[in-house]
Amino acid sequence: EPEVTQTPSHQVTQMGQEVILRCVPISNHLYFYWYRQILGQKVEFLVSFYNNEISEKSEIFDDQFSVERPDGSNFTLKIRSTKLEDSAMYFCASSYQGYNEQFFGPGTRLTVL
């Protein structure tokens, strides 16, 4: 069964460093998303991406964040200068249509020290 994959599973970084989280969405999906989940809290939307551009972003997704689809398979989230409060699980998701079923990856745990 096709699935969304994410790498790395765990990333530890120092405050102020740049990180890139990688995702491979399901191959025929057209819509891509990033969400985050701070430990013990609900899942929060960060950004949606379609046709090589951002469709919508939340207030969390400030200038420190960017997304890219560098090739036909990868979808990345970059945090330019990490802060302590960026520590969270980051989930990538994809869907075939705009708001049909979204399938989530296993997540990347980001720890900012």
Partner 1 sequence: QQQVKQSPQSLIVQKGGISIINCAYENTAFDYFPWYQQFPGKGPALLIAIRPDVSEKKEGRFTISFNKSAKQFSLHIMDSQPGDSATYFCAATGGTSYGKLTFGQGTILTVHP
Show the CA angle centred on residue 48, arms to residues 40 and 71, nearest 5°.
115
- Residues making contact with partner 1 (CB under 8 A): 4, 31, 33, 35, 41-45, 48, 55-56, 58, 91, 95, 98-107
- Judged by CB, which is closer to partner 1: 14, or 42? 42
- Judged by CB, which is closer to partner 1: 82, or 95? 95
What's the closest the beta carbon of residue 16 comes to partner 1, in angstroms? Answer: 28
- Judged by CB, which is closer to partner 1: 19, or 105? 105
What's the closest the beta carbon of residue 6 comes to partner 1, in angstroms? Answer: 8
